[in-house]
Structure formats: structure tokens, C-alpha cells
Amino acid sequence: MQRILVTGGAGYIGSHACKALAAAGYEPVCFDNLSTGFAAAAKFGPFEQGDLLDRGRLDAVFAKYAPVAVMHFAAFSDVGEATRDPGKYWRNNVSGSLNLIEAALDAGCRNIVFSSTCATYGDQDGVTLDESCVQAPLNAYGASKRAIEDMLIDFSNSHGLNHVIFRYFNVAGADPDGEIGENHQPETHLIPLMLHAIQGKRAALTVHGTDYDTPDGTCIRDYVHVCDLVDAHVLGLQWLEAGKGNRVFNLGTGTGFSVREVVAHSASVTNRAVPVVDGPRRIGDATALVSGSTRAKAELGWTPKRSDLETMIADAWRWHESPGYDE
């Protein structure tokens, strides 16, 4: 059985990727420092606690498992924090990724699937984003991800590193089996914050900015189900295994929803009122981010199956109503 090293494998997206890899016949090796992940989510293969900034630990894990590829999810991803403390993002995301790439190459592992973000595009009003769009990130989170993309290209040119880069839009939903889900501490994502407000775990959902140039004044985002997202990552891994070369793919549905539209859908799905208060804009937030790409569908054969808004909210709601793993 081929082993895949999954960095950040105890986090929200990484744990879903580990489950998808195991279902596809791989052995996922979860590597996570548990700063934002949960040991209880690392249940689909071996777990190794460690930090990307610790090169010795990385070398030991590569030597122990000899993975044939890496799926790289480990990163800080809070846009607000990235704006306040950019050094944390450059140090962790970029320096950690450099350590990972060099450790992989030294171990003879030359395939990497990288979790990037549509935040590398910045705020391009009126543009439906595809892979050819200019990258102009607004914050250190997006900038650090763009820098890692550049790093992968450089190491491809110098050392034959093969890579697939996924720039994805807003990830939502949860494992429909209820084994794993979204549980950030502190939580910053719209749908779980909204569900927490419905449950009474917070007083209200704060809508950050109501004066954007959109039909209802709130930001517009393209949402993709986490299970659809990780299915694309497995397809990306198989793309590399087939020797098809380096490629960048956007992952989104091509449909954008405003914050107020998401609130309305959530009230309908849960049959509960959503307590909402209006607040100021957050620095670093783009007006609208919507994918215009069909490349993943055309070339990878990727077909989102659960990425309608109602299903994403319903799956997330089921998870949030369960005990979860509050540890």
C-alpha cells in the first residue's frame, strides 16, 4: 500500500483528505503539531506529531514511512490574524514549507499536492477568477501561499519536483458520516459561526461589512464542500502518479453567495432564526471571490457532488449538533 504524508492531517481539510485517501486505497500518514488540529481527527492511518519548522522531525518521519507523495495542508489561515501579525504567517507557512520540500526531496519523494487558496488573487472586482488571473493577495495569508507556489516552481526547475496546486474557494460542510468536521478554535469561518449563533454558543453572528459593492452590501464567496474538495486532491495525486506534469487548478462551483444569502439558507435548512448584528469591514477581506474555472472538471474529471449550499449547511449542522471532539 502506498503511503502519503499528509501535513495538517489532524485539521479540518487534512482529516477529510486522510479519510478520502484511505477510501482510495492509500495509507495516509498524518503529520500535525496539533496547534489547530485534533488528535481525535487523526483516525485513518498512522499519526506523527511534529512541526514543519523541525527539520529533524520531518527527516525522521520520511525515513520511517518512505511516502511516495505529500499532501500539504499545514498552514495558518486566519485572514485577520495574518493582517495583524504577518511575521507569524511568513515564518510558519513559508519557512515550514521550505523545510518540507527539502526534506521530501532529500528522501526521494518528488510528488506534492499543495493546498493553496483563491486569496492569492486578491480583490478583482467584476472578474470571475480562473487560473490565468493575476495574483495580487491582500494579506500575508494569501501572500505566503503565493510564495509557496513560486517555491514549488523553483524546485521543479532545479530538482524535478512534481506538483499539483489547488487554489480553492470557501470550504464548508462536514463528513456526511459524522466522523469528522470543522472545529477551529477560535472559529473564524462564516457557516460554523452562524451555526454557533443558532445554537446559542455565541450571542449573534457579526456580519463584517454591509457596504460592499454587491446587491445586498455583503461579501460574496464561492463555497465548495470539503468532501468534494478532498476528492479533487486524490485526483490530483493520481494525476501526478500518471506523470501528467505540474498543474494549477481552481476548486469552486462558479456560483457566489453573499453573507446575507448564506444566513437565509441556514435559517431555512435548520428551521431556526439566525441572530445577526452588523459590524465594520475587516481589513484584508475581498468584495467577491468566485471561481470561473472549468479546468478541474475538464482535465481531472472532478465533479462536485455535495457542493450545493443546502447540503453543505445540512452536513455542517449535523456535525455541530453532534458531540464532535471538543478537546
Residue 104 CA, chain-centre distance (Å), reads 21
Mark 113-132 as b/e (b = at least 16 C-beta within 10 Å).
bbbbbbbbbbebeeebbbbe
Beta-strand relationship, 170-172 and 220-225: parallel
Q: Is 26 in the active site?
A: no
Q: Angle CA(23)–CA(27)–CA(31) in degrees, nearest 5?
A: 115
Residue 284 burial (10 A CB sphere; 0-12, 13-18, 19+): buried
Residue type at position 136? A
Cell of 131: 487560473
Nearest in space to 96 (alpha carbons), one of 147, 62, 167: 147
List, as one string, the DSSP characters of 182-225: ---SS---HHHHHHHHHHTSSS-EEEE-S-SSSTTSS-EEEEEE
* CA pair distance 42, 36, nearest whole angstrom: 13
Beta-strand relationship, 256-258 and 220-225: antiparallel
Residues contacting 327, CB < 8 A, separation 6+: 38, 39, 40
Q: Which of 89, 121, 141, 168 is catalytic?
A: 141
Residues contacting 280, CB < 8 A, separation 6+: 208, 209
* CA pair distance 86, 143, nearest whole angstrom: 10
Cell of 49: 506529531
Residues with a catalytic annotation lie at: 141
